[in-house]
Amino acid sequence: MEVVPSDLTPKWHAATGKLLCTGHNVRYTGDRGPMRVYNRETVYSVYDPATRNLSSWRTLAMPDAPRFKNAGAGCTQRFDLAGGDILLPLYFKHPEQRQYSATVVRCGFDGGTLTYLEHGDELTIPVQEGFTEPSLTRFGDRFYLTLRNEAHGHVTSGPDGMHFDKPKKWRFDDGSELGNYSTQQHWVTHSDGLFLVYNRRGANNDHIFRHRAPLFMARVDPEKLCVMRATERVLLPERGACMGNFGVTDVGPDETWVTVAECADTGNVKNHGSDNSAFVVKIKWNGPNQLVK
């Protein structure tokens, strides 16, 4: 049996001055593919800019309950509170249940050790695998959580980053379904606007595995929790490969980056021109993002 970190997201932790990467792990026997996971942990590591090394990966200790034996923060966006506590979204599953649940764990971090403090609502849905890969942000005075589901991406909001309303399907503002499924979505949060980055079907992209390309970005109506169709733009056009595993980073007040690679493990993607490029899409704002110091 072997275990390896995956699905990491690095993010600056201002309170300790550390670049903290969070994700989870995968277990294998040889190279036969991951075990059908019912043991999984949230993984973390700290980047040292002086040595250009990542610290030896550690795992987040969760409460001793069967459903948390498989709990990981892979592909999630966390939110750091002003005092330094971390709101870390993750998802977990009881070994005898099919559906995953998503929750937000409030963690302490002292620059070396990530500690579970409490967790909030346990959100799930009786549809395929439940809710996975949650991403959290705050816009104005409210928190927003976007959730992966194998049939429909979902969204919810709440007052404190731990407790949320009942999630609902992502839709356009005209009421039609967004068409996102079976992959993550992430937030782009500007002080003057909330945006969602996502894939969706219905973009002449049936040849793409799970419709994971192009990569779109659109404005979110934070009251109605829907995507404003007229604001949808293609961040990256498709070249045959899927681009469903991506990250969002505020580089400064003027720029937010979306990073994504062409995943070349499915189909004959090279016929469309993809070459496993890792793209950095620089979103350059016309006004400073006051949320970025």
Partner 1 sequence: MTRKPWSESRRVAVFLALLAVAAVGGETVQKEVVFQEMEVFPGRTGGYDNYRIPAVVTSNQGTLLAFCEGRHPARSDSWNIDVMMRRSTDGGKSWSNLQALWDDGGNWCGNPGTVVDRETGTIWLLMTWSRGDDGEAAIVKGTSKDTCHVFACSSKDDGVTWSKPAEITKTAKDPDWRWYATGPGAGIQVTHGRHKGRLIIPCDHSAPHGGYESHIIYSDDHGGTWKTGGTIPNFTECEVVERTDGTLLINMRNFDERRKTRGTATSADGGETWSKVTHDQTLIEPNCQGSVRRYTTVAKDGKSRVLFSNPASTSQRVRMTVRLSYDEGRTWPVAKLINAGGSGYSCLTVLPDRTIGLLYEKQATRGITFARFTLDWLTDGKDALEKPGARAGGPASKAGAEPLDYTIDRTTARKGLDGKRCFCHPRAGVIPPRAPGNPSETPMVVITFAPHSLPPAYDVFYATNHMRSDDLGRTWDGPREHPATMGRRKEPGGGGGRPVRSDAEMACGDG
Question: Closest approach of Cβ 160 to partner 1, in Å?
Answer: 15
Question: Which residue among 60, 74, 106, 161 contacts partner 1 (CB under 8 A)?
Answer: 74
Q: Considering only CA atoms, which of 223, 106, 110 is closest in space to residue 161?
A: 106
φ and ψ of 273, to 5 deg = 105, -5
Question: Which residue among 75, 88, 114, 208 contacts partner 1 (CB under 8 A)?
Answer: 75
Q: What are the angstrom distances between the C-alpha of 126 and each of 97, 134, 151, 226?
A: 10, 16, 11, 22
Do the beta carbons of residue 2 and residue 28 sit within 8 Å?
yes
Binding residues among 106-135 for partner 1 as defined by CB under 8 A: 128-129, 132-133
Residue (203 or 264) nearer to partner 1, CB: 264
Question: Which residue among 68, 135, 236, 238 contacts partner 1 (CB under 8 A)?
Answer: 236
Binding residues among 240-269 for partner 1 as defined by CB under 8 A: 244-247, 249-255, 257, 259-261, 263-266
Question: Which residue among 15, 35, 162, 203 contacts partner 1 (CB under 8 A)?
Answer: 35
Strands 86-92 and 101-109: antiparallel
Question: Closest approach of Cβ 106 to partner 1, in Å?
Answer: 20
Question: How far is 83 from 288, CA to CA, in rounded Å?
Answer: 24
Which helix (H) or strand (E) element contains residue 145? strand 142-148
Question: Closest approach of Cβ 8 to partner 1, in Å?
Answer: 5
Question: Closest approach of Cβ 246 to partner 1, in Å?
Answer: 7
What size, in residues, is the chain? Answer: 293
Question: How far is 137 from 111, CA to CA, in rounded Å?
Answer: 22
Question: Which residue among 89, 103, 182, 202 contacts partner 1 (CB under 8 A)?
Answer: 182
Question: Closest approach of Cβ 6 to partner 1, in Å?
Answer: 5
Binding residues among 214-233 for partner 1 as defined by CB under 8 A: 219-224, 228, 230-231, 233
Binding residues among 52-71 for partner 1 as defined by CB under 8 A: 52-57
The structure tokens listed for 290 are 């006051």
φ and ψ of 251, to 5 deg = -85, -30
| Under rule CB under 8 A, residue 42 binds partner 1 | no
DSSP-assigned beta bridge partners for residue 105? 88, 119
Question: Closest approach of Cβ 177 to partner 1, in Å?
Answer: 19
Question: Closest approach of Cβ 216 to partner 1, in Å?
Answer: 11
Part of the chain binding partner 1 (CB under 8 A), chosen from 28-36, 80-88, 115-123, 161-169: 28-36
**Burial degree of 25 (CB within 10 A; 0-12, 13-18, 19+):** buried
Q: What is the DSSP letter of 56?
A: P
Q: What are the angstrom distances between the C-alpha of 4 and each of 27, 44, 48, 58, 68?
A: 7, 12, 20, 11, 18
Provide the mask over 137-176, with x wherever binding to partner 1 is found by CB under 8 A and - wherever it is not.
Answer: --xxxx-----x-x----------------------x---
